[in-house]
Amino acid sequence: MSVRYLSCGDTAFTVEFGNEISPEINGRVMALHAAIGGARDAGDLPGVVETVPTMRSLMVAYDPLATSRADLQPGIDLLIARGLPTGMASRRVTLPCCYDDPEFAPDLAEVAKRTGKTTEQVIAAHLASPFKVYVLGFMPGLAYVAGLEQSLYLPRRTQPRVRVPRSSVAIAMDMTTIYPFESPGGWHLIGRTPLWMFDKRREQPVFLSPGDSLSFQRIDRKTHDRIAREVEAGSFDWAKLVNAP
């Protein structure tokens, strides 16, 4: 599979692996993201500033005072030619989610109606979906998480909400997401996690990373409120949500 190099001025270029969304293409994106990270850790590819993975491409940002496109591109070609690992191990992350309060899940009944399911079946389908974090963007910590069970696919709301509460769990198209901030939003709100996807007090303020495997665990309102208090106080143990690869 060949790649295309797209110019992004004199401080970046994009390595495009394809023009479609597929786990195989994203796997190669993430593998190159990791390979460049590894090369930089080893002192190679000087002048590379950072890499930005998306569904189907990797943007490589560089400092034109330290290197050049002509110097860098052969190094990237070489990494690709050496063969990118497939099926890379990923973190497995479990997020608690409360679906059981109309305040948290204002769109659950409508989603059920439009997909011909009961609300319990919608929740079961969300819990059973094999989610994967593809890309973070739009705002810090906002993850586009694909893998939603196909029977739940719906377009975005025709009338976006002006105010979606922080930590709302939402679905649209083939994806789910968790709002890191209170913000406008057009996705269907089906639950809420007590966790903050962006917490500037934490050493790693953004919890999810591209490549993470993700699943949800159902909790009741009481458990939600207890965890929410711990998160607010900064005493919550985030490590227990993560199984290292």
Q: Does 88 bind other proteins (CB under 8 A)?
A: no
Residue 143 identity: A
Interface pattern 50-69 for other proteins (x via CB under 8 A): xxxxxxxxxx-x--xx--xx
Q: Does 139 bind other proteins (CB under 8 A)?
A: yes
Name which of 123 and 169 has its Cβ closer to other proteins. 169
Q: Which two tokens stand for residue 22?
A: 């597929």
Strands (E), 125-244: 131-136, 143-146, 161-164, 168-172, 175-178, 183-185, 188-192, 213-218, 242-243
Q: Does 149 bind other proteins (CB under 8 A)?
A: no
Name which of 64 and 74 has its Cβ closer to other proteins. 64
Q: Does 241 bind other proteins (CB under 8 A)?
A: no
Q: Does 166 bind other proteins (CB under 8 A)?
A: no
Q: CA 25 → CA 82, 170, 213, distances in Å?
A: 17, 25, 16
Our measurement of the distance from residue 91's CA atom to the centroid of its chain's CA atoms, rounded to an integer in Å, reads 12
Residue 99 identity: Y
Q: Does 118 bind other proteins (CB under 8 A)?
A: no
Closest Cα partner for 83 from 19, 34, 40, 16? 34
Residue whose token pair is 């929410």: 228
- Residue among 135, 169, 172, 219 that touches other proteins (CB under 8 A): 135
Interface pattern 176-215 for other proteins (x via CB under 8 A): -----x----------------x-x----xx--xx-----
> Where does this chain bind other proteins (CB under 8 A)?
6-14, 16, 19-21, 33, 49-59, 61, 64-65, 68-70, 135-144, 181, 198, 200, 205-206, 209-210
